[in-house]
Amino acid sequence: MPEANYHTQHSPFGAFASFTIGLVDSPGGFGQSLRGPARQNIYIGFRGHAQRTWQLLPFLTPPKSQEGAFTGDTTVVQPPRGFDALRPSDYTRTLGLASDTWRADEGRFGFSLLTPFDRVPDPARMPKAAARFHLAPVVTGWIEYDNRQGKEPVELMFGVGNGEDTLRPLTDTSDKLMGFAGGTAFGYATKPARGVTMRQGFDILDPKFRDYRGLLVIAGETALVFTVPAGARKRFPLALGFYAAGPITTGIDSVYAYTRVFKNLEDVLVHGLQEHARYGKVAAQRDRELARSRLDDDQKFLLAQSAHSYFGSTQLMWSNGRPLWMVNEGEYRMINTFDLTVDHVFFELVWQPWAVRDTLDLFVRRYSYRDQHGLSFTHDMGVNSFFTPPGRSSYECDGLEGCFSHMTMEQLLNWILTAVTYAEHTGDRAWLRANQKTLLACADSLHRRDDPDPKKRDGILKQDSNRVRGGAEITTYDSLDVSLGQARNNLYLAVKTLGAWVLLERAFATLKLAKAAADAHATADLLAQTLTTKFEADTGFFPAVFEKGNRSRILPAVEGFIYPLFLGYKDATDRNGRFAPLFKQLSQHIAQALQPGICLDATSGGWKMSSTSTNTWFSKIAIAQHVIRQLFPEAMTDAARQGDRVHADWQRTPGCGRDAMCDQIRSDSGIACGSRYYPRGVSAWLWLNE
C-alpha cells in the first residue's frame, strides 16, 4: 500500500465549508464555498521532553514572513524555524466515517477532527434546539498527549496561519473561547483552561514581538498552545466554525439556514465546545457503524473519504420562509446537478430524505420545461451561488454534440428514478399523489422520446430535444467518448429507461392508476425485448451505442438496475424472471467486460466505465460494483475484486488526494482529470446493503 498522502474535507452539514488537511507538505485549512482546498498553514504538533524542537504534522509550507513589509527590511525572510515536519512514517492516520485521527510519538500524541453527521429531521419543522445541534456550522476535534511517563511538561499546538489575512483573538468577543477568527467568517477555539495560551506572530514557533497580552495581532500566524504536565494525560477540545451572514445566493435569494439559530461565529464556537461530548458520541457511533460493516479496509476508506467530501459540498439555505437544499458539484460548484442528485439518493435517503423531496419539488417548480416531446428537467439549477432562470441550467448549451450539450432524456429519467425511489423507499404516499400529474407527464414524455408515433416505438429513447438546436443530446457521461456521451440509442440510457419504466409501474400501481401501470409494464417488456436484439451474438457484448457500428464496451450497461435492486423489486431483478433473456446477455457482457484491457485498465487494474476511454468515474464504479456483485456475482473474478485496492490507492495518493475525493480519474495513472473535491463518491453507501 502506498504511503497515505491525501487531503480530506472536514465539513459541517450544509455549510458549504470545509477545513481541509492531510496532504503531506501542503497547506489547507478553512475554506468557505471554495472549489478546492484552502491555502492556510496549519500548525499541529507537540514539543516534548525527548524532542526539544516542535514536531509538526506536515500541513504547512514555510510562509513568507510579513515582517519585512513593516520594517522595510526586505532581507528578512523568516519561515517558522526550529521544527521538524513529521514524515508519514513518523505518524499514523486513521480515517473513520466521521473522524480523522493522527497519532505520533509512539501513540502519545493524538489529534483528531470529527464530522459528527447524523439523521437530520426536516428543517422545515425542526425545533430550535434540534436546529442548533444539527445545523451548527462547526467541526469538532481534539488534541491530546499522554505524558504519564514523562518527567517534564509537554506542549501541544493547534494553529492556523492565514498568510496575508490576519486573524483576531476570540477572547475579545467571548469569555468562553480561546482561539482566533478570520473576521466574522471562520475561526477555531478551545475552552479557556489552565495550561492553554494563545499566540500570534510572524513566526508562530518563536514570536519576536509581543503586545501587552503576548500577541501581535497584525501578524498572520496564530495558535493555541496547550501544556500537559509531567505525569498527566490530557485531551483538549477543539471547535472549528464557519459563519456567513446575509444574502448568499442570487436568482433565488437565500441565507444560510443556520443563521436563523446562530447569532454569529462566536455563538457557533461556544455551542461546538458546549456540545463537544455529544458530537463526539455521534461521530463515534458513525465510526463504529462503518468499522463493524462487512466492507474491507479499502472499501471502508473509500466510503469514509467520500462521506467527508460529500458534506463539504452540502448547503442548507433558507428562502421565502422555507428550507432550500443545495448540493454543490465539487470543483464545478453547479447547484443540485441532477446527475448527482440521482446518485446521492441512496445516501440522502438514509440521512436526510427531505432533501431529496425538496430537490425534486424545486426541479418541478422551477427547473422543469417542455420541449416538442413534453416534460423534462434541467441538468442543474445554477452555479456558484447563482440560480439560473426557470427552466434553464448553467451547463446546457446549443448546437453541440459533446460536452455542454443538453441532457433532456437523461434528466427526465433522473426525475422519475429519484422521485419513485424517494416515494417508495420512504413510503411518502402523499408526496407521490401530489406528483401524480408530473409522473404521468414523465411517462408520456418518455414515450414520445422513443417515437412520437406509438406504432414505431421499441422502448429506446432516440428523439433529441429541439433544445439542442442542431446538436445532439448527451448523457451524464459527457466527458467520455461517444460510447457513453451520446444519448440517442444509448445502451446505458436504454437500461436506465428500463429501470424507469419498472419504477413507474410500481408508482402507478401505488397510485391505483391501473392503465398507466399496465402501460409501463408493457413498455418495460417491450424495451427489454428490444434490448435483447441489440446483443452481438458474435462477440457476446452489447454495443454501447446502437448506431454506426459502435463497439465500445461499457459497465453502465447495468446501472439502470440499481433502482429496482435498491427498492427490492424482485421481479425486475430476478435473473430467471421477466427479464431473464436480457439478464443472460448482460451477464455475458459484464463477465467479458471485466477483463484486463477491456473494462479493467490494463496498466492499473482499475475499473473503467468504457473500454474505449481512460476517463473513469469512481462514483459510477461504486454503483456498477454494487449491481454486479448483487446481480452478476459470476463476473467478480479476482482481477475485478482487486479494483477496490486500486481505487482506494488512487484516492489516498496525491493524484486524486490533493483535492480530497475525486471522481473523474485517468484509469491508467490514477490521476484526477476532473470532478475534484467532489461529493458523489457517497454512491458507495450502496455497498453497505450487500
Residues 6+ apart with CB under 8 A from 73: 67
State the minimum distance, in angstroms, from the CB of residue 306 to its own copies. Answer: 20
Q: Which three cell numbers stand for residue 573?
A: 431483478
CA–CA distance, 69 with 40 (Å, rounded to integer): 19
Question: Nearer to its own copies by C-beta: 132 or 467?
Answer: 467
Nearest residue (CB) to its own copies, 403 versus 580: 403
DSSP string, 215-240: --TTSSEEEEEEEE-TT-EEEEEEEE
Q: How far is the CB of 666 from its own copies (least distance, A)?
A: 8
Rounded to whole angstroms, the Cα distance separating 291 from 269 reads: 29
- Of 68 and 540, the one with the shorter C-beta distance to its own copies is 68
Name the CA dihedral angle for 470, 476, 481, 482, rounded to a multiple of 10 degrees.
-50
Type of residue found at 76: V
Nearer to its own copies, 196 or 218 (CB): 218
Nearer to its own copies by Cβ, of 245 and 591: the residue is 245
Contact between 21 and 7 under an 8 Å Cβ cutoff? The reply is: yes
d(CA 134, CA 6): 28
Sheet holding 664-666, edge to edge: 615-617, 664-666, 672-674
List the alpha helices (DSSP H) in 137-275: 265-274
In whole angstroms, the minimum distance from the beta carbon of 180 to its own copies comes to: 10
**Of 651, 648, 675, whose CA–CA distance to 300 is shortest?**
648
Nearest CB to its own copies, comparing residues 383 and 594: 383
Indicate the residue among 71 and 539 with the shorter CB distance to its own copies.
71
Least spacing, CB of residue 388 vs its own copies, in Å:
7
Which candidate, 333, 328, 332, places its Cα nearest to that of 317?
328
* Residue with smaller CB distance to its own copies, 13 or 332: 332
Tell me the helix, strand and coil percentages in the chain, rounded to 5.
Answer: 40, 20, 40
To the nearest whole angstrom, how small is the minimum distance from the Cβ of residue 468 to its own copies?
Answer: 11
| H helical segments located in 103-176 | 128-135
Assigned C-alpha cell, 18: 470545509
CB of 443 to its own copies, least distance (A): 27
- 269, three cell numbers: 464556537
Residues that bind its own copies (CB under 8 A): 35, 68-74, 164-166, 168, 172-173, 181, 183-184, 209-212, 216-218, 245-248, 250-251, 264, 331-334, 382-386, 388-389, 392, 394-400, 402-404, 467, 478-480, 615, 664, 673-674, 676
Q: How far is the CB of 21 from its own copies (least distance, A)?
A: 21
Nearer Cβ to its own copies (74/89):
74
For residue 584, the minimal CB distance to its own copies (Å) is 34
Cβ–Cβ under 8 Å, residues 559 and 496: yes
Alpha-carbon distance of 667 to 598, in angstroms, equals 12
Whole-number Å distance between alpha carbons of 584 and 578: 12
Q: Which of 383/517 has CB closer to its own copies? A: 383
CA dist., res. 388 & res. 380, Å (int): 9
By C-beta, is 173 or 274 nearer to its own copies?
A: 173
Going through 344-476 in order, the beta strands assigned E by DSSP cover 368-371, 374-377, 382-383, 386-387
Query: In angstroms, what is the minimal distance from the CB of 307 to its own copies?
Result: 23
Rounded to whole angstroms, what are the CA distances from 157 to 62, 119, 478? 17, 33, 46
Q: How far is the CB of 424 from its own copies (least distance, A)?
A: 34
User: Cα–Cα distance between 337 and 410 in angstroms, integer?
Assistant: 12
The owner of cell 461529493 is 679
Least distance to its own copies, CB of residue 368, Å: 15
